[in-house]
Amino acid sequence: MRSFFEYNWQVRDDWLEWCEQISTKELLKPRTGGPGSILYTLFHVIEVEYSWIKAIRGKEDEVIPFEQYDTLEQLKKLSNDCRAEIMKFIEKGLFGNKNESVYVSWENQSYTKDEILHHLIAHEIHHIGQLSVWARELEFKPVSAHFIGRTEHGRS
Amino acid sequence: MRSFFEYNWQVRDDWLEWCEQISTKELLKPRTGGPGSILYTLFHVIEVEYSWIKAIRGKEDEVIPFEQYDTLEQLKKLSNDCRAEIMKFIEKGLFGNKNESVYVSWENQSYTKDEILHHLIAHEIHHIGQLSVWARELEFKPVSAHFIGRTEHGRS
């Protein structure tokens, strides 16, 4: 479980670096098939991870406004700040007691911690897959998505 | 680990059903940003999962030719046949002894079983993310990727 989070964070960092070569206009351009622009998609995975983990922690939900994080620099800072907070919680035992029930206010429903952690892992990998299509459509090489080695493989 | 495999298989089945509404021409059309066409991408996740799990089982690698599975019916059969074989292996303990070292012939390298299982899970979710972009580009609603509930959520 933890290794999937570390994988997602590494891939996310690589995408945030990848964005450095793309113009702000292209980064903010609405795109077909994902939550919005490239920057908004990255914002979305950060925000969703942070919100669900806040729910696990029993903290109140707060909506993070994209308008405050719509530059690459601000988004990198948001990713780092959210991750630092999540890391502290990991050290306190995020990955323990997986059958614990968690109330999720925006769905008015409860899930097990285990379900939420699975959801978050799949959620980020899925959206990163969308970024990889847009990257090729922009004629840029996408970040490697390989869990093993993180380099190109013959068979993938 | 097992629940991610079950999630991927369910999502894959849903995509194979989703394909029923798309013309053969569109299903086989080369697309930007993934391994190839929609059908080839689905073939690719089936073939990669099967090959790496064969490596875990210590079986010799065999290349499955796409040309034999380039219709929806043949691909569904391939997915079901490979899965049935993998299920048998799961019952014999696929998810045990995760630190076991596995030799992978096409890379002439060894990985732990745990690394390979993580790789396969992320691999399929990533490519499914690519399908979701192409679906919207074709103006069709993609299959839900949600691990929780498998329905649309406000926050995702």
A129/B134 touch (CB, cutoff 8 Å), yes or no:
no
pLDDT level of residue B15 (50, 70, 90 thresholds) = very high
Whether A147 contacts chain B with CB within 8 A: yes
Q: Which of B32, B48, B116 sits opposite A133 (nearest CB)?
A: B32
Contact A33 B135 (CB under 8 A): yes
Residue type, A19: C
The domain spans of chain A are 2-155
The pLDDT score that the predictor gives to residue B67 is 97
Contact B137 A33 (CB under 8 A): yes
Residues on chain B touching A148 (C-beta within 8 angstroms): 111, 115-116, 118-119
A138 part of contact set with chain B, CB < 8 Å: no
ipTM: 0.95
* Residue A81: per-residue pLDDT: 98
> Which band of pLDDT confidence, cut at 50, 70 and 90, is reported for residue A142?
very high
In the CATH hierarchy, which top-level class contains the domain B2-155? mainly alpha
Q: Could you write out the DSSP letters of every residue in A77-141?
A: HHHHHHHHHHHHHHHTTTTS-TT-EEEETTTTEEEEHHHHHHHHHHHHHHHHHHHHHHHHHTT-P
Q: Are B148 and B155 in contact (CB under 8 A)?
A: no
- Three-state DSSP at A148 gives coil
Given a cut of 90, is residue B1 above it in pLDDT?
no
Assess A107–B contact: CB distance below 8 Å, yes or no: yes
A125 Cα to chain B: minimum distance (Å): 5
Q: Enumerate the β-bridge partners of residue B110.
A: B103
Write the pLDDT tens digit of every residue in A60-94.
999 999 999 999 999 999 999 999 999 999 999 88
pTM of the model as a whole: 0.95
Contact by Cβ (8 Å): B116, B52? yes
Q: What backbone torsions phi and psi does residue A96 show, to the nearest 5 degrees?
A: -90, 175
pLDDT average, residue stretch B128-154: 88
Name chain B contacts of A136, Cβ cutoff 8 Å: 32-33
Query: Minimal Cα–Cα distance from B4 to chain A, Å?
Result: 8
A contact residues 65-94, partner B, Cβ 8 Å cutoff:
none
Residue of B31, B51, B54 lying closest to B138 (CA atoms): B31
What are the chain B neighbours of A7 within 8 Å (beta carbons)? 118, 122
